[in-house]
Amino acid sequence: MYDIILFDLDGTLTDPKEGITKSVQYALAKLGIDEPGLDKLIHFIGPPLLTSFKEAYNMDETKANLALKYYRERFSDIGLYENAVFPGIREMLHKLKDQGKTLIVATSKPTVFSVKILEHFGLSEYFKSVVGSNLDGTRVEKGEVIEFALSELGTIDRDKIIMVGDRKHDVIGAKNNGIDVIAIAYGYGSKEELTATGPTHLIATVLELSEFLQNN
């Protein structure tokens, strides 16, 4: 049985498409880059933003950090709340907590933003802790986030811990830390992306995820 469940935030618990893509669009515009199509910015959901700015727009470190600064200008006030809890998530968390399972958020999003989002949507009560990245750019890779979350738990059999996420970074980070991982197909990672990284389980819907976690 999995007694401890780590959840990614963006694309797993909530759908942040509007807030993230509009904030990326805002940051690009401040740098003189016109990107009218929000769907072209969906790939920014999940991975560390600094890396995404570098890879998608061939930015050097200085320019990517400036883009991140502009992104946060909008996101911290507006984009944070342009978000929605996936249908069925709240009910799932309630059932898992009632079963006595320990729930933790492990995300590459800065902890300060993650906490605000969970509080805004009334989800914070379900989680023992929220582990994210730091605003100074440290602990941003998913493997580092998971490693820190596990370190806070102390000595626990890792066979009893599982990660749930929607991108390859969640799968790779979990495997690098020796824990099982569920890749969920209702988020922003393609089936090809997820299967290529070899998750322990691939689950299609929130309902199926809820049933699996309650019974395993």
Domains of the chain: 4-15+84-215 (3.40.50.1000), 17-81 (1.10.150.240)
What is the predicted pLDDT for the residue at 10?
Answer: 92
Which one from 8, 10, 170, 180 is the annotated catalytic residue?
Answer: 8
Global confidence as pTM: 0.89
Are 142 and 173 within 8 A, CB to CB?
A: yes
What gap in Å lies between CA 136 and CA 23, rounded to an integer? Answer: 19
8 flagged as catalytic: yes
DSSP H helix total and E strand total for the chain: 9, 8
Strand pairing partners for 201?
Answer: 182
Q: Specify the pLDDT at position 127.
A: 97
Instruction: Give pLDDT, residue 154.
Output: 83
Going from the first residue of the chain to its last (216 residues), give the mean pLDDT of each consecutive group of 10, the final group possibly shorter.
95 95 96 92 88 93 95 93 96 97 95 94 96 88 94 89 96 96 94 94 97 96
Cβ atoms of 171 and 196 closer than 8 Å: no
